[in-house]
């Protein structure tokens, strides 16, 4: 319920907004700022739990219905130690690993919208580079023997894409709108990276990052 509260507040603002005209602004720039939960998709969800994501984009209205945009943001995930323990070899395994996973996308995208009076549903697609950072530390206990892990930090980048659906809900006719969308984000390369090394001959790798971002925020089109 707490995850949905910001979206309910935004929807309430849109419902109570006067006018709902928000005239087309072809040839104008804008800005949109959104945030919300990031939900891992299998196999990435095998070891990481629900995270948080934020996104900022600068759209340019080519026509009344078509936008191009540049965007960037961040997503942060934490390891799910219960799931990780199930993946590691051994009869009795307890994981106490701290492994924050940070993703920073830099993308070029397109929005195509259909304009009703009070809301504009749109389709969005983007391509770009997802810069990633993974830190790992902690310990793993296997069959009663604890193995401390050396702190380790890795950074890398991968080509990626996102595709999704959203809606703009105008707030009067001054250029403001509530911006809601859900997008599937995925890197093109399936290769993961080593998450932890429990012994010189045994290591465990992450899966390639894939997640659904559920975003809500505000957009403004410059007059």
Judge if pTM exceeds 0.75: yes
pLDDT score recorded for residue 22: 52
Query: Tokens 């799910």 belong to which residue?
Result: 80
Within 10 A of 111 (CB to CB), how many other CB atoms are there?
25
Q: What percent of the chain has pLDDT over 90?
A: 54
pLDDT-derived band at 14 (thresholds 50, 70, 90) equals very low
**pLDDT band, very low/low/confident/very high, at 25 (cuts 50, 70, 90):** low
User: Which is higher by pLDDT, 7 or 57?
Assistant: 57
Q: Decide which of 3.40.190.10, 3.40.50.1580, 2.40.160.20, 3.30.360.10 is the CATH code for 5-221.
A: 2.40.160.20
**Mean pLDDT rounded to a whole number for the chain:** 86
Query: Are 213 and 182 within 8 A, CB to CB?
Result: yes
Res 21 pLDDT > 60: no
The answer to whether the beta carbons of residues 203 and 46 sit under 8 Å apart is no
Q: Which of 96, 53, 65, 68 is nearest to 196 (CA)?
A: 96
137/172 Cα distance (integer angstroms): 50
Name the pLDDT band for 26 (thresholds 50, 70, 90): confident
Q: Quick one: tokens of 53?
A: 């994501």
Among 66-80, 87-101, 113-127, 200-214, the range of highest mean pLDDT: 66-80
Q: How confident is the model at residue 199 (pLDDT cuts 50, 70, 90)?
A: low
Domain ranges of the chain: 5-221
Mean pLDDT of 213-221: 96
């Amino acid at each position: 319920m707490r995850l949905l509260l910001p979206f309910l507040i935004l929807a309430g603002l849109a419902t109570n907004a006067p006018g709902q005209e928000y005239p087309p602004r072809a040839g104008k720039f804008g800005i949109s700022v959104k945030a919300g939960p990031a939900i891992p998709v299998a196999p990435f969800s095998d070891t990481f739990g629900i995270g948080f994501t934020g996104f900022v984009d600068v759209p340019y209205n080519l026509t009344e219905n078509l936008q191009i945009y540049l965007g960037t943001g961040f997503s942060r995930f934490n390891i799910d130690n219960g799931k990780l323990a199930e993946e590691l070899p051994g009869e009795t395994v307890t994981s106490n690993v701290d492994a924050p996973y940070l993703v920073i996308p830099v993308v070029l995208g397109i929005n195509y919208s259909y304009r009703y009076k009070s809301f504009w549903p749109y389709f969005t697609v983007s391509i770009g580079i997802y810069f990633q950072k993974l830190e790992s530390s902690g310990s793993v206990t296997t069959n009663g023997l604890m193995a401390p892990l050396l702190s380790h930090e890795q950074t890398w980048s991968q080509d990626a894409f996102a595709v999704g659906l959203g809606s703009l809900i105008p707030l009067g006719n001054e250029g403001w709108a509530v911006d809601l969308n859900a997008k599937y984000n995925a890197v093109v390369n399936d290769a993961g990276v080593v998450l932890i090394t429990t012994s010189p001959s045994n290591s465990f790798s992450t899966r390639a990052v894939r997640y659904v971002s559920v975003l809500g925020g505000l957009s403004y089109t410059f007059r």
